[in-house]
Amino acid sequence: MKNTFKLILVLFTLFNFINCTKENKIPADLEINDFVWKAMNAYYLHQDQVDDLANTKFRNQPELNQYLRSFETPKKLFLSLLYNTPALDQKSLFIEDYNSSAEVDSRISSTHGVEYGIIAEPGSSSNVIGYVQYILPNTDASKQPIQRGDFFYAVDNIQLTRNNFNTLLNNASNTFELHMASFDGNTVKADSIIENAIKIPKKITLSKKEYLHTPIFMHKTITDGSNKTGYIVFNHQFSSNYIQALNARFLQFKNDGVKQLILDLRYNIGGRSSLKSVNELASMITGQFTNEIFAKKRFNNKAQSWFMTNQPDSLVVRFTDKIYNSTKINSLKLTELYIILNGNLPAAELLINGLNNHINVYVINSVTTKGENTASMKLYNSLDYNKVGSSTNHTVALEPIVAELQNSNDETFANGFTPKITTCSENDILNIGIIGESSDPVLNRVLNLIQKTPPNPPGICNPNRFTFLYNSIHEQKAMNSGIFMQQKLPNTD
């Protein structure tokens, strides 16, 4: 009887397929548009909030085809399907050629090695002053007598102004001279040095070269009596490209016996951070929660229902003790983490939220973070939207927001986090201190918090009322593309 039922079912399905093939056929010129709509209908996080993605919007394939034909390009169709307008969903991406959009293994740029800011010169309507934020290691600048907190006012004998500083500093020739200055908050004076008993202007010659940016700018163990604190300045994305480098630094912290960690992300430019890598970092910080839940993924209602029924374990991300399922994680088993931010950083927010109900996490920031608690994923034109078996007729892929991220208590971080210590959005350029030393006012306040000594009262932000015009690090933060995740997807149609 069972076999007879199966045969009837197969014949019924075949009959319907033969009769519906013509009606359901997708015209060749609509292949990409059809993929865009169906992929977004299947997995876009806001699918049930976009009228044109409703499951009942089209009764059959011909109706869908007619709708798809009304768009000039697949990209215009994609943009029209984003929740409320592309301006509100800036994380979902349309990819013309997935072969050329692979994650970059390293960050390389042409640089002289000076990360700097520009302020308007007090009392001048046109002149500006440059200040050094830090020097990139192993660059030409690192070999020159220039350091954090220095000032400069000209390039190649040309005074820096509001109109020319970008051209002179960013589009300059490969080699140029910075004219150094002394600045007390009011008056700019050309710096000088004595050479052959003659007083001459101090100039720093810098050359731009191809430079491989290292994600870890500094790491050290700060000792206060018997207490040891790990301090690490991480300036790039949290991805598989850099997780091994972090793990190596954590081994040193582990050997040093650190009791708490300061993760300084003030100069982090963001990028393509992965959910998996952030979880591995969380597992390095802790280690006592292996296999417990770090984060949960919440898909749109249709996809979530399928996963809950068929693959519930795929909806959770658990603390791990391995990288790539093979390399042992150097875990610290800490109960206190201090994160220094400057603005919003989705990877840091994910880390904070995932750890919050496991250990004490203290946020030090210039603002209350806004909470970009979503993750995106790459979808291909295949039966199940995975790359294997995708169409060979085109190279279009989508990377829409597909999931909301929660911690083990089902809490999101959509509203961000209120800082334990509030900092200024810009450095006090007259009292900038040394990175990694207590002379850095921000680090000093965090160390006081750790030591439970009366904290220094916060200073007034920008007491000199400088007009900040440019920040080379802020400019690079445009690279931030949120949290990326990978998961083998089924076809839930």
285-295 tens-digit pLDDT: 999 999 999 99
Specify the DSSP class assigned to residue 101.
Answer: -
pLDDT for the residue 197:
72
pLDDT for 377 = 94
Lowest average pLDDT, out of 127-141, 267-281, 448-462, goes to: 448-462
The 3-class SS string of 222-277 reads EEECCEEEEEEEECCCCCCCCHHHHHHHHHHHHHHCCCEEEEECCCCCCCCEEHHH
Mean pLDDT, the chain, whole residue set: 88
Residue 351 falls in which region: left (phi positive, over 0), alpha (psi -120 to 50) or beta: alpha
Cα–Cα dist 296/318, whole Å = 9
Q: How much of the chain exceeds pLDDT 70, in percent?
A: 90
Q: Is pLDDT above 80 for 262?
A: yes
Which has the closest alpha carbon to 121: 200, 181, 201? 181
What was the pLDDT predicted at 370?
Answer: 67
pLDDT for position 480: 55
pLDDT of amino acid 2: 38
Please tell me which residue, 367 or 240, carries the higher pLDDT value.
Answer: 240
Q: What is the pLDDT of residues 314-325, one digit of tens each?
A: 999 999 999 987
Q: Say if residues 245 and 217 touch (Cβ distance below 8 Å).
A: no
| β-bridge mates for residue 230, sequence order | 221, 261
Residue 307 pLDDT more than 90?
Answer: yes
Mean pLDDT along residues 407-427: 88
What does the alpha-carbon distance between residue 398 and residue 40 come to, in Å, rounded to a whole number?
9
Phi/psi-derived region of residue 461, left when phi > 0, alpha when psi is between -120 and 50, beta in every other case: beta
* Angle (deg, nearest 10), helices 346-356 and 275-285: 50
Q: pLDDT value at position 259?
A: 96
Q: What is the mean pLDDT of residues 111-139?
A: 96
> Mean pLDDT across the stretch 329-358?
93
Domain assignments of the chain as residue spans, ordered by start: 24-88, 108-212, 216-458+479-484
Contact of 40 with 53, CB cutoff 8 Å: yes
Backbone angles phi, psi at 33, to 5 degrees: -60, -40
| Residue 279 clears pLDDT 80, i.e. is over it | yes
Helix (H) or strand (E) holding 115: strand 114-120
Q: State the chain's maximal CA–CA distance in angstroms.
A: 108
- Rounded to the nearest angstrom, the gap between the alpha carbon of residue 283 and the centroid of all alpha carbons in its chain is 19
Mean pLDDT of 183-203: 85
Report, as an integer, the average pLDDT of 478-490.
75
Which architecture characterizes domain 216-458+479-484 according to CATH?
A: Alpha-Beta Complex (3.90)
pLDDT of residue 411 exceeding 80: yes
pLDDT, one tens digit per residue, over 69-87 is 999 999 999 999 998 865 5
CATH architecture under which domain 108-212 falls: Roll (2.30)
